[in-house]
Structure 1
Amino acid sequence: MKQVPVGVSARHIHLSQEHIAILFGKENGLSVKKDLSQPGQFAANETVRIEGPKKSLDKVRILGPARKESQLEISKTDSFYLGVQPPVRESGDIIGTPGIKVVGPAGEVELDKGVIIAARHIHFHTSDAEKWGIQNKQLLKVRVNGERPLIFEDVIARVADNYALDMHIDTDEANAAGINTCETAEIID
Protein backbone atom coordinates (compact mmCIF):
# COMPACT_ATOMS: atom_id res chain seq x y z
CA MET A 1 0.00 0.00 0.00
CA LYS A 2 1.34 3.45 -0.97
CA GLN A 3 0.24 5.70 1.90
CA VAL A 4 1.13 9.36 2.17
CA PRO A 5 0.43 11.94 4.88
CA VAL A 6 -1.99 14.71 3.93
CA GLY A 7 -1.31 18.39 4.52
CA VAL A 8 -4.18 20.85 4.16
CA SER A 9 -2.98 24.19 2.81
CA ALA A 10 -5.03 27.18 3.90
CA ARG A 11 -4.72 30.43 1.97
CA HIS A 12 -1.18 31.80 2.13
CA ILE A 13 1.29 34.01 0.32
CA HIS A 14 4.91 33.64 -0.74
CA LEU A 15 6.76 36.95 -1.02
CA SER A 16 9.89 38.12 -2.78
CA GLN A 17 12.59 39.79 -0.65
CA GLU A 18 11.79 43.11 -2.37
CA HIS A 19 8.11 42.86 -1.40
CA ILE A 20 8.94 41.82 2.19
CA ALA A 21 11.02 45.03 2.50
CA ILE A 22 8.19 47.19 1.13
CA LEU A 23 5.48 45.57 3.28
CA PHE A 24 7.43 45.32 6.57
CA GLY A 25 10.29 47.82 6.23
CA LYS A 26 13.83 47.32 4.97
CA GLU A 27 15.15 46.49 8.45
CA ASN A 28 12.60 43.71 9.02
CA GLY A 29 12.42 40.15 7.73
CA LEU A 30 10.25 37.14 8.31
CA SER A 31 10.31 35.35 11.65
CA VAL A 32 9.48 31.66 12.08
CA LYS A 33 6.14 30.78 13.69
CA LYS A 34 6.46 27.06 12.89
CA ASP A 35 8.31 24.76 10.52
CA LEU A 36 6.34 23.13 7.71
CA SER A 37 6.49 19.58 6.33
CA GLN A 38 8.94 20.53 3.58
CA PRO A 39 12.53 20.99 4.79
CA GLY A 40 13.54 24.64 5.13
CA GLN A 41 9.97 25.95 4.71
CA PHE A 42 8.12 27.74 7.49
CA ALA A 43 4.97 29.63 8.39
CA ALA A 44 5.97 33.15 9.38
CA ASN A 45 4.62 35.10 12.32
CA GLU A 46 3.96 37.93 9.89
CA THR A 47 0.67 38.28 8.01
CA VAL A 48 -0.70 40.64 5.36
CA ARG A 49 -4.05 41.97 4.19
CA ILE A 50 -5.20 40.96 0.71
CA GLU A 51 -7.51 43.43 -1.05
CA GLY A 52 -9.54 42.06 -3.94
CA PRO A 53 -12.01 43.80 -6.25
CA LYS A 54 -14.98 42.72 -4.06
CA LYS A 55 -13.70 42.12 -0.52
CA SER A 56 -10.54 41.77 1.57
CA LEU A 57 -8.94 39.06 3.68
CA ASP A 58 -7.00 39.98 6.82
CA LYS A 59 -4.18 38.03 8.47
CA VAL A 60 -3.13 35.99 5.43
CA ARG A 61 -0.12 33.95 6.55
CA ILE A 62 3.23 34.37 4.82
CA LEU A 63 5.23 31.22 4.09
CA GLY A 64 8.99 31.53 4.00
CA PRO A 65 11.69 31.75 3.04
CA ALA A 66 11.51 34.56 0.47
CA ARG A 67 10.90 33.49 -3.12
CA LYS A 68 12.02 34.86 -6.46
CA GLU A 69 8.48 36.09 -7.18
CA SER A 70 5.50 36.78 -4.96
CA GLN A 71 2.53 34.42 -5.24
CA LEU A 72 -0.83 34.18 -3.46
CA GLU A 73 -2.41 30.72 -3.13
CA ILE A 74 -6.13 30.68 -2.36
CA SER A 75 -9.08 28.30 -2.60
CA LYS A 76 -11.89 28.59 -5.13
CA THR A 77 -14.15 29.77 -2.29
CA ASP A 78 -11.63 32.54 -1.48
CA SER A 79 -11.59 33.56 -5.16
CA PHE A 80 -15.37 34.15 -5.14
CA TYR A 81 -15.09 36.16 -1.91
CA LEU A 82 -12.22 38.34 -3.21
CA GLY A 83 -13.69 38.74 -6.71
CA VAL A 84 -10.75 37.28 -8.66
CA GLN A 85 -10.63 34.40 -11.13
CA PRO A 86 -7.30 32.60 -10.70
CA PRO A 87 -6.47 29.44 -12.61
CA VAL A 88 -5.52 26.12 -11.01
CA ARG A 89 -1.73 26.00 -11.35
CA GLU A 90 1.38 24.43 -9.93
CA SER A 91 3.20 26.64 -7.48
CA GLY A 92 5.55 28.99 -9.33
CA ASP A 93 3.57 28.91 -12.60
CA ILE A 94 2.17 32.44 -12.44
CA ILE A 95 2.46 33.76 -15.99
CA GLY A 96 -0.94 35.01 -17.16
CA THR A 97 -2.49 34.90 -13.67
CA PRO A 98 -4.40 37.80 -12.08
CA GLY A 99 -2.78 40.19 -9.65
CA ILE A 100 -4.01 41.62 -6.35
CA LYS A 101 -3.16 44.25 -3.72
CA VAL A 102 -1.12 43.16 -0.69
CA VAL A 103 -1.00 45.44 2.37
CA GLY A 104 1.50 45.23 5.21
CA PRO A 105 2.23 47.44 8.23
CA ALA A 106 4.89 49.49 6.38
CA GLY A 107 3.53 49.66 2.84
CA GLU A 108 1.58 48.00 0.07
CA VAL A 109 2.30 46.19 -3.19
CA GLU A 110 0.07 45.84 -6.23
CA LEU A 111 0.94 42.43 -7.72
CA ASP A 112 0.43 42.40 -11.49
CA LYS A 113 0.29 38.59 -11.42
CA GLY A 114 0.61 35.72 -8.97
CA VAL A 115 -2.84 34.68 -7.74
CA ILE A 116 -3.44 30.93 -8.18
CA ILE A 117 -5.46 28.04 -6.87
CA ALA A 118 -2.71 25.52 -6.15
CA ALA A 119 -2.99 22.26 -8.06
CA ARG A 120 -3.18 19.29 -5.69
CA HIS A 121 0.15 17.51 -5.52
CA ILE A 122 2.37 15.14 -3.61
CA HIS A 123 5.95 15.96 -2.69
CA PHE A 124 8.15 12.88 -3.00
CA HIS A 125 11.73 12.56 -1.85
CA THR A 126 13.63 10.97 -4.74
CA SER A 127 14.05 7.72 -2.76
CA ASP A 128 10.28 7.43 -2.11
CA ALA A 129 9.49 8.02 -5.78
CA GLU A 130 12.04 5.43 -6.88
CA LYS A 131 10.73 2.88 -4.37
CA TRP A 132 7.18 3.26 -5.75
CA GLY A 133 8.11 3.74 -9.42
CA ILE A 134 6.76 7.29 -9.59
CA GLN A 135 8.11 9.88 -12.02
CA ASN A 136 8.27 13.65 -11.59
CA LYS A 137 5.09 15.31 -13.01
CA GLN A 138 3.26 11.97 -13.18
CA LEU A 139 -0.49 12.34 -12.59
CA LEU A 140 -1.79 10.09 -9.83
CA LYS A 141 -5.12 8.88 -8.42
CA VAL A 142 -5.30 9.17 -4.65
CA ARG A 143 -8.01 7.90 -2.27
CA VAL A 144 -8.73 9.76 0.96
CA ASN A 145 -10.85 8.04 3.57
CA GLY A 146 -12.34 10.90 5.55
CA GLU A 147 -15.95 11.34 6.63
CA ARG A 148 -16.80 11.59 2.94
CA PRO A 149 -14.28 9.36 1.10
CA LEU A 150 -13.09 10.68 -2.26
CA ILE A 151 -10.72 9.77 -5.05
CA PHE A 152 -8.69 12.74 -6.23
CA GLU A 153 -7.50 12.46 -9.83
CA ASP A 154 -4.70 14.38 -11.54
CA VAL A 155 -2.63 14.69 -8.37
CA ILE A 156 0.77 15.91 -9.58
CA ALA A 157 3.89 14.05 -8.40
CA ARG A 158 6.66 16.50 -7.52
CA VAL A 159 9.97 14.68 -7.01
CA ALA A 160 13.17 16.19 -5.61
CA ASP A 161 16.03 15.35 -3.25
CA ASN A 162 14.98 18.12 -0.85
CA TYR A 163 11.29 17.12 -0.54
CA ALA A 164 9.63 15.17 2.25
CA LEU A 165 6.70 12.84 1.46
CA ASP A 166 3.49 14.87 1.83
CA MET A 167 0.28 15.41 -0.16
CA HIS A 168 -0.98 18.98 -0.36
CA ILE A 169 -4.63 19.85 -0.95
CA ASP A 170 -6.49 23.08 -0.24
CA THR A 171 -9.22 23.70 2.31
CA ASP A 172 -12.05 23.27 -0.22
CA GLU A 173 -10.74 19.81 -1.16
CA ALA A 174 -10.19 18.81 2.48
CA ASN A 175 -13.67 19.95 3.46
CA ALA A 176 -15.23 18.03 0.55
CA ALA A 177 -13.61 14.83 1.85
CA GLY A 178 -14.02 15.61 5.55
CA ILE A 179 -10.31 15.25 6.30
CA ASN A 180 -7.70 17.16 8.28
CA THR A 181 -3.94 17.59 8.19
CA CYS A 182 -2.06 14.49 9.46
CA GLU A 183 -4.54 12.00 8.02
CA THR A 184 -3.26 9.64 5.32
CA ALA A 185 -4.18 9.03 1.72
CA GLU A 186 -3.50 6.05 -0.52
CA ILE A 187 -2.09 6.22 -4.05
CA ILE A 188 -4.23 3.82 -6.08
CA ASP A 189 -2.53 3.88 -9.48
Structure 2
Amino acid sequence: MKQVLIGVSARHIHLSAEHIEVLFGAGYELRVLKELSQPGQYAAKETVAVVGPKGRFDKVRILGPARPHSQLEVSRTDAFALGMNPPVRESGRTEGTPGIKVIGPEGEIELQEGVIIAARHIHFHTADAAKWGIRDKQLLKVRVEGERSLVFEQVIARVSDQFALDMHIDTDEANAAGVTTGDVGTILSE
Protein backbone atom coordinates (compact mmCIF):
# COMPACT_ATOMS: atom_id res chain seq x y z
CA MET A 1 0.00 0.00 0.00
CA LYS A 2 1.09 3.55 -0.75
CA GLN A 3 0.51 5.32 2.54
CA VAL A 4 1.29 8.92 3.40
CA LEU A 5 1.17 10.95 6.61
CA ILE A 6 -1.22 13.89 6.48
CA GLY A 7 -0.41 17.37 7.74
CA VAL A 8 -3.21 19.87 8.34
CA SER A 9 -2.26 23.43 7.41
CA ALA A 10 -3.94 26.25 9.30
CA ARG A 11 -3.89 29.76 7.83
CA HIS A 12 -0.33 31.06 7.45
CA ILE A 13 1.78 33.49 5.51
CA HIS A 14 5.05 33.28 3.59
CA LEU A 15 6.94 36.60 3.35
CA SER A 16 9.69 37.94 1.11
CA ALA A 17 12.86 39.24 2.78
CA GLU A 18 11.88 42.77 1.72
CA HIS A 19 8.45 42.47 3.36
CA ILE A 20 9.95 40.99 6.56
CA GLU A 21 12.10 44.14 6.86
CA VAL A 22 9.12 46.47 6.29
CA LEU A 23 7.00 44.62 8.87
CA PHE A 24 9.69 43.96 11.51
CA GLY A 25 12.52 46.42 10.84
CA ALA A 26 15.74 46.60 8.81
CA GLY A 27 17.91 43.49 9.03
CA TYR A 28 15.29 41.51 10.96
CA GLU A 29 15.68 37.71 10.93
CA LEU A 30 12.78 35.35 11.66
CA ARG A 31 13.21 33.11 14.71
CA VAL A 32 12.40 29.39 14.59
CA LEU A 33 9.47 28.31 16.75
CA LYS A 34 9.18 24.78 15.36
CA GLU A 35 10.62 22.77 12.46
CA LEU A 36 8.06 21.60 9.88
CA SER A 37 7.82 18.32 7.96
CA GLN A 38 9.62 19.71 4.90
CA PRO A 39 13.41 20.02 5.27
CA GLY A 40 14.52 23.58 6.06
CA GLN A 41 10.96 24.85 6.57
CA TYR A 42 9.79 26.17 9.93
CA ALA A 43 7.03 27.98 11.78
CA ALA A 44 8.46 31.30 12.95
CA LYS A 45 7.88 32.77 16.40
CA GLU A 46 6.67 35.93 14.66
CA THR A 47 3.08 36.59 13.60
CA VAL A 48 1.33 39.36 11.68
CA ALA A 49 -2.22 40.66 11.31
CA VAL A 50 -4.02 40.43 7.95
CA VAL A 51 -6.92 42.71 7.06
CA GLY A 52 -9.44 41.93 4.32
CA PRO A 53 -12.48 43.86 3.09
CA LYS A 54 -14.78 42.50 5.82
CA GLY A 55 -12.59 41.05 8.54
CA ARG A 56 -9.14 40.50 10.00
CA PHE A 57 -7.06 37.83 11.62
CA ASP A 58 -4.46 38.69 14.23
CA LYS A 59 -1.52 36.42 15.02
CA VAL A 60 -1.21 34.78 11.59
CA ARG A 61 1.87 32.55 11.79
CA ILE A 62 4.77 33.24 9.44
CA LEU A 63 6.41 30.22 7.84
CA GLY A 64 10.09 30.55 7.02
CA PRO A 65 12.50 30.91 5.50
CA ALA A 66 11.82 34.02 3.39
CA ARG A 67 10.41 33.34 -0.07
CA PRO A 68 10.82 35.28 -3.32
CA HIS A 69 7.17 36.47 -3.10
CA SER A 70 4.80 36.96 -0.18
CA GLN A 71 1.72 34.72 -0.08
CA LEU A 72 -1.16 34.22 2.38
CA GLU A 73 -2.73 30.75 2.50
CA VAL A 74 -6.24 30.50 3.95
CA SER A 75 -9.14 28.04 4.01
CA ARG A 76 -12.45 28.83 2.28
CA THR A 77 -13.96 29.52 5.72
CA ASP A 78 -11.14 31.99 6.47
CA ALA A 79 -11.73 33.66 3.09
CA PHE A 80 -15.43 34.19 3.90
CA ALA A 81 -14.48 35.78 7.23
CA LEU A 82 -12.06 38.14 5.44
CA GLY A 83 -14.66 38.99 2.76
CA MET A 84 -12.61 37.51 -0.07
CA ASN A 85 -12.93 34.90 -2.81
CA PRO A 86 -9.40 33.66 -3.55
CA PRO A 87 -8.83 30.81 -6.00
CA VAL A 88 -7.59 27.33 -5.15
CA ARG A 89 -4.00 27.36 -6.36
CA GLU A 90 -0.74 25.52 -6.06
CA SER A 91 1.66 27.34 -3.74
CA GLY A 92 3.63 30.05 -5.52
CA ARG A 93 1.04 30.57 -8.28
CA THR A 94 -0.31 33.93 -7.13
CA GLU A 95 -0.79 35.80 -10.41
CA GLY A 96 -4.27 37.29 -10.64
CA THR A 97 -5.14 36.52 -7.00
CA PRO A 98 -6.54 39.05 -4.53
CA GLY A 99 -4.27 41.12 -2.30
CA ILE A 100 -4.51 41.94 1.38
CA LYS A 101 -3.13 44.33 4.01
CA VAL A 102 -0.46 42.82 6.29
CA ILE A 103 0.42 44.56 9.57
CA GLY A 104 3.58 43.92 11.58
CA PRO A 105 5.01 45.59 14.69
CA GLU A 106 7.16 48.03 12.67
CA GLY A 107 5.11 48.66 9.53
CA GLU A 108 2.51 47.44 7.10
CA ILE A 109 2.28 46.39 3.47
CA GLU A 110 -0.53 46.16 0.98
CA LEU A 111 -0.05 42.99 -1.07
CA GLN A 112 -1.41 43.55 -4.57
CA GLU A 113 -1.84 39.79 -4.99
CA GLY A 114 -0.97 36.63 -3.10
CA VAL A 115 -4.04 35.33 -1.26
CA ILE A 116 -4.79 31.69 -2.16
CA ILE A 117 -6.54 28.61 -0.90
CA ALA A 118 -3.74 26.07 -1.22
CA ALA A 119 -4.50 23.13 -3.49
CA ARG A 120 -4.24 19.81 -1.65
CA HIS A 121 -0.93 18.20 -2.46
CA ILE A 122 1.63 15.58 -1.54
CA HIS A 123 5.33 16.34 -1.30
CA PHE A 124 7.33 13.38 -2.65
CA HIS A 125 11.07 12.92 -2.40
CA THR A 126 12.24 11.83 -5.85
CA ALA A 127 13.09 8.35 -4.45
CA ASP A 128 9.54 7.85 -3.09
CA ALA A 129 7.99 9.05 -6.34
CA ALA A 130 10.20 6.73 -8.40
CA LYS A 131 9.44 3.75 -6.11
CA TRP A 132 5.69 4.28 -6.57
CA GLY A 133 5.77 5.37 -10.23
CA ILE A 134 4.50 8.88 -9.50
CA ARG A 135 5.51 11.90 -11.59
CA ASP A 136 5.58 15.61 -10.74
CA LYS A 137 2.20 17.37 -11.15
CA GLN A 138 0.34 14.05 -11.46
CA LEU A 139 -3.18 14.23 -9.97
CA LEU A 140 -3.80 11.55 -7.36
CA LYS A 141 -6.64 10.16 -5.24
CA VAL A 142 -6.12 9.60 -1.51
CA ARG A 143 -8.49 7.66 0.75
CA VAL A 144 -8.76 8.47 4.45
CA GLU A 145 -10.52 6.06 6.79
CA GLY A 146 -12.56 6.75 9.90
CA GLU A 147 -15.93 8.01 11.00
CA ARG A 148 -16.03 10.49 8.10
CA SER A 149 -13.96 8.53 5.56
CA LEU A 150 -13.67 9.97 2.10
CA VAL A 151 -11.50 10.10 -1.00
CA PHE A 152 -9.62 13.31 -1.77
CA GLU A 153 -9.38 13.77 -5.53
CA GLN A 154 -7.13 16.09 -7.54
CA VAL A 155 -4.28 15.81 -5.04
CA ILE A 156 -1.24 17.32 -6.78
CA ALA A 157 2.01 15.35 -6.66
CA ARG A 158 4.96 17.68 -6.05
CA VAL A 159 8.25 15.85 -6.60
CA SER A 160 11.70 17.12 -5.60
CA ASP A 161 14.88 15.82 -4.03
CA GLN A 162 14.35 18.64 -1.49
CA PHE A 163 11.02 17.23 -0.22
CA ALA A 164 10.03 14.69 2.43
CA LEU A 165 6.95 12.49 1.91
CA ASP A 166 3.96 14.36 3.38
CA MET A 167 0.40 15.26 2.31
CA HIS A 168 -0.98 18.74 3.04
CA ILE A 169 -4.65 19.68 3.33
CA ASP A 170 -6.28 22.74 4.90
CA THR A 171 -8.45 22.92 8.00
CA ASP A 172 -11.75 22.82 6.09
CA GLU A 173 -10.71 19.64 4.29
CA ALA A 174 -9.45 18.08 7.54
CA ASN A 175 -12.70 18.90 9.33
CA ALA A 176 -14.79 17.41 6.51
CA ALA A 177 -12.85 14.14 6.78
CA GLY A 178 -12.34 14.11 10.55
CA VAL A 179 -8.56 14.12 9.96
CA THR A 180 -5.85 15.50 12.23
CA THR A 181 -2.14 15.95 11.63
CA GLY A 182 -0.39 12.59 11.78
CA ASP A 183 -3.30 10.58 10.37
CA VAL A 184 -2.56 8.38 7.37
CA GLY A 185 -3.99 8.41 3.87
CA THR A 186 -3.73 5.71 1.21
CA ILE A 187 -2.85 6.71 -2.35
CA LEU A 188 -5.21 4.82 -4.65
CA SER A 189 -3.87 3.19 -7.80
CA GLU A 190 -4.93 4.81 -11.04
Please give the range of the TM-score, normalised by the shorter of the 2 chains: over 0.9
Q: Cα offset for 1:61?
A: 0.2
TM-score, length-scaled by structure 1? 0.99
| 1:30–1:64 Cα contact (<8 Å) kept | yes
Q: Structure 1: which amino acid aligns with 2:7?
A: G
**CA distance in 2 between partners of 1:24 and 1:186 (Å):** 42
Equivalent in the alignment of 2:174: 174
Q: Does 1:93 align with 2:102?
A: no
The 3-state SS of whatever aligns with 1:127 is helix
**CA distance in 2 between partners of 1:27 and 1:60 (Å):** 21
Q: Cα offset for 1:164?
A: 0.1
**CA distance in 1 between partners of 2:146 and 2:33 (Å):** 28
Q: Cα offset for 1:147?
A: 2.7
In structure 2, the gaps of 5 or more residues are none
Equivalent in the alignment of 2:47: 47
**CA distance in 1 between partners of 2:133 and 2:27 (Å):** 47
Equivalent in the alignment of 1:104: 104
Q: Does 1:4 align with 2:4?
A: yes
Q: Structure 2: which amino acid aligns with 1:74?
A: V
Equivalent in the alignment of 1:154: 154
**CA distance in 1 between partners of 2:53 and 2:146 (Å):** 35
**Alignment root-mean-square deviation, CA:** 0.6
**CA distance in 1 between partners of 2:27 and 2:162 (Å):** 30
The 3-state SS of whatever aligns with 1:174 is helix
What whole-Å deviation, never above 9, does each CA across 1:12-63 have from its counterpart, x for those lacking one?
A: 0000000000000013210000000000000000000000100100000000
* Identity level (%): 70
Equivalent in the alignment of 2:187: 187
| 1:97–1:114 Cα contact (<8 Å) kept | yes
Q: Cα offset for 1:146?
A: 3.4
The 3-state SS of whatever aligns with 1:123 is strand
The 3-state SS of whatever aligns with 2:59 is strand
What whole-Å deviation, never above 9, does each CA across 1:63-91 have from its counterpart, x for those lacking one?
A: 00000000000000000000011000000
| 1:90–1:118 Cα contact (<8 Å) kept | yes
TM-score, length-scaled by structure 2? 0.98
Runs of 4+ off more than 3 Å: none
The 3-state SS of whatever aligns with 2:172 is helix
The 3-state SS of whatever aligns with 1:78 is helix
What whole-Å deviation, never above 9, does each CA across 1:135-183 have from its counterpart, x for those lacking one?
A: 0000000001133001000000000001000000000000000010011
| 1:147–1:179 Cα contact (<8 Å) kept | no
Q: Structure 1: which amino acid aligns with 2:136?
A: N
Equivalent in the alignment of 1:24: 24
What whole-Å deviation, never above 9, does each CA across 1:78-124 have from its counterpart, x for those lacking one?
A: 00000011000000000000000000000000000000000000000
Q: Structure 1: which amino acid aligns with 2:30?
A: L
Equivalent in the alignment of 2:164: 164
